[in-house]
Structure 1
Amino acid sequence: MPEPARVLLVFGRGVVRTASGYTLTPGGDARVRAATAYVAAHRAALPGGDRIRVVFTGGWPEASAGAAPPPVGAREGDLMLRAARAAGLDEHAELYAETRSRSTLENLLHTVEDGLLSGYAFDARAPLGLVTHAWHLPRVRFLAGRVLGLTGPALRDVPAHGGEVHDDRGALLLARLGFAGARADRLLRRERGMVAVGRLARRVINGRPGYRRRTVGQQ
């Protein structure tokens, strides 16, 4: 049996504003449930009473959806952490939240910057767990390779089930093309340039006569 992941990165899936405040999307809830289920299934396999570290990473989907930032305490990482505690996950795992990120790339970069992976070495025997939906995992794996230098069995897929389905192939292709050959310290600058170009293109398209604007889903 493969060794369980000792660290899980749980990627945000957006928040929804309601009359009473902010709440996770169904996809975000599904990712919290997937992390909770993984810890329940594997915590007994860790030696010496060690606890799995779970990092909920996400601020708001500004890069993909142009969303405005929710107030502090109501961002993706905050709400996922709150849901995990409500499910009792803090009794069996170390829980942390990163709440500045506006994209999948920033999820990884800010998790590293905040020291939330410090003290861990990841390989096939001690993989880093990636908690997200199956359609999102290829892009997460690609970016984890660029940011963390981890590939193959050093990364453990922990797919979530439930919530909306999204076609991420276009975003993956853009990431592969846009980040080809870029050094790790230049990835974020390049991503922000790509986001700016994408928004300009959307404004041009949306301004065409006869074009009916479609709602952009959270990512």
Structure 2
Amino acid sequence: MHADTLWVFGRGVTVVDGRYRLTPDSLARVDAALAYARRLTAARIVFTGGWSLGAGSAGPPVGSREGDLMLAAARRAGTPPGLDLHAETRSRSTLENVLHTVEEKLLGELAFTPARPLGIVSHGWHLPRIRYLIGKVLRLRGPAVLDIPVVGGGSPWSERMLAVGSRVCFLGSADPATLRRRERLMVALGRRR
């Protein structure tokens, strides 16, 4: 079993000498997706990431957002012939990564099943939260989603809090508007601390 469609989640952008650059963890995720695509012949890769919630409302200019930079890094690294690349660049959180990618129909028209799963690429500590959100939004669970873990990048303490907070905050809802409202509330409460 292998995934024809890979969904790569960003891990941040930094500014160096006035230029936006991917963090080493984001680059590691691009490299992992490309290695998988070369080895197991994936047909599509979707890179997702805009800018973090803490980066201000305007964020980086178009072309310098996480999804843009991951897509450019993949092209520079060389992609297998016929690989279909896409980027989602409006999101500011993992929930928005999922919602915007689905709204923009970037995953294509395939039905994901255990025999033809959706591959998710991120660090191992991030994958459970991604799986949870994909289950909420796409109703995909179990072997219909294939984890493609990236090695390294120690688990930040905040990820454990986000994973627990997401499960509590999003409990009982799969409606995108409700999920967005609840996330805004969770972020607002977190900032007040």
TM-score relative to the length of structure 2: 0.93
SS at match of 2:136: helix
Alignment deviations for residues 17-41 of structure 1 (CA, whole Å, 9 cap, x no partner): 0105011001000000000010011
Alignment of 1:184 with 2:182, yes or no, is: no
Counterpart of 2:64? 74
Counterpart of 2:92? 102
Alignment deviations for residues 154-194 of structure 1 (CA, whole Å, 9 cap, x no partner): 00001112445423221110001000012323111111111
% identical aligned pairs: 54
Runs of at least 5 residues in structure 1 that lack an aligned partner in the other structure: 44-50, 202-219
Distance 1:98 1:118 in 2: 13
Counterpart of 1:212? none
Counterpart of 1:209? none
Distance 2:87 2:141 in 1: 24
Distance 2:69 2:108 in 1: 24
Greater mean alpha carbon deviation, residues 182-191 or residues 74-83: 182-191
Distance 2:155 2:189 in 1: 26
SS at match of 1:91: coil
CA 1:32 to 1:119, structure 2 compared with 1: closer, same or farther past 3 Å? same
Alignment of 1:193 with 2:185, yes or no, is: yes
Alignment deviations for residues 60-85 of structure 1 (CA, whole Å, 9 cap, x no partner): 111xxx11311111000000000000
Runs of at least 5 residues in structure 2 that lack an aligned partner in the other structure: none
CA 1:15 to 1:158, structure 2 compared with 1: closer, same or farther past 3 Å? same
Distance 2:52 2:185 in 1: 16
AA matched with 2:174: R
SS at match of 2:192: helix
CA 1:133 to 1:75, structure 2 compared with 1: closer, same or farther past 3 Å? same
- Radius of gyration: which is bigger? 1
Distance 1:17 1:90 in 2: 30
Alignment deviations for residues 182-212 of structure 1 (CA, whole Å, 9 cap, x no partner): 23231111111111111122xxxxxxxxxxx
The runs of at least 4 aligned residues of structure 1 exceeding 6 Å deviation read none
SS at match of 1:56: strand
TM-score relative to the length of structure 1: 0.83
SS at match of 2:55: coil
Alignment deviations for residues 115-165 of structure 1 (CA, whole Å, 9 cap, x no partner): 112311001011000000000001001111001100100000011124454
Distance 2:156 2:43 in 1: 29
How many pairs are equivalent? 189
Distance 2:46 2:21 in 1: 19
Counterpart of 1:151? 141
C-alpha RMSD over aligned residues: 1.3
SS at match of 2:20: strand
Q: 2:3 aligns with which of 5, 8, 13?
A: 5
Pairing of 1:165-184 with structure 2 (within 5 A): 165-167=155-157, 168-184=159-175
Alignment deviations for residues 42-95 of structure 1 (CA, whole Å, 9 cap, x no partner): 01xxxxxxx511000000111xxx113111110000000000000111634110
Counterpart of 1:31? 29
Alignment of 1:119 with 2:109, yes or no, is: yes
Counterpart of 2:49? 58
